[in-house]
Amino acid sequence: MGEAQAKTKALLAKHPFCCFCGGAERSTTIDHQPARSLFDRKQWPEGYAFPACYSCNQESRKHENVLALLVRINASSVGYTEARRHEFQKYIRAMNNNFPDLLRILTSNEKRQYFRNERLPRPRGIGLSNLPMVGIGSDLANESVNSVMKKLLKALHYRHTGHILPRGGSIELKWITNAYLHTLKEDQEFIGSLTGVPTLTRNGTDLSSQFSYRYGIDLEKLVSAFVIVFRNSLIGIGIVAHDERIFQCEADQAS
Tally helices (H) and strands (E) across the chain: 8, 10
Question: Measured between alpha carbons, how far is 151 from 145 in angstroms, rounded to an integer?
Answer: 10
Q: Does residue 191 carry a pLDDT above 70?
A: yes
Q: Please list the residues that pair with 241 across neighbouring strands.
A: 170, 223
Of 18, 13, 48, the residue nearest 211 (C-alpha)? 48
Cis peptide before 34 (omega within 30 of 0): yes
Taking residues 90-102, what's their average pLDDT? 63
Helices (H), the chain: 3-14, 54-59, 61-70, 82-98, 108-118, 138-161, 188-193, 245-254
Question: Measured between alpha carbons, how far is 180 from 102 in angstroms, rounded to an integer?
Answer: 19
Distance of CA 104 to the CA centre of its chain: 22
* Helix, strand, or coil (residue 81): coil
Of 189, 179, 166, 198, the residue nearest 237 (C-alpha)? 189
Q: Of the segments 34-48, 70-84, 112-126, 129-143, which one has the largest average pLDDT value?
A: 34-48
Q: Does residue 80 carry a pLDDT above 60?
A: no
Give pLDDT tens digits for 98-126. 666 666 666 778 777 777 776 777 777 77
Q: Is 9 exposed, middle or buried (0-12, 13-18, 19+ CB in 10 A)?
A: exposed
Question: Measured between alpha carbons, how far is 60 from 147 in angstroms, rounded to an integer?
Answer: 7
Question: Measured between alpha carbons, how far is 241 from 50 in angstroms, rounded to an integer?
Answer: 19
Q: Does residue 229 carry a pLDDT above 70?
A: yes
Under the banding of pLDDT at 50, 70 and 90, the label for residue 95 is low
Q: Does residue 185 carry a pLDDT above 90?
A: no
Specify the pTM: 0.80
Q: Is 127 exposed, middle or buried (0-12, 13-18, 19+ CB in 10 A)?
A: exposed
Q: Does residue 249 carry a pLDDT above 60?
A: no
Question: Measured between alpha carbons, how far is 86 from 91 in angstroms, rounded to an integer?
Answer: 9
Dihedral sign for Cα atoms in the order 77, 38, 226, 160 = negative
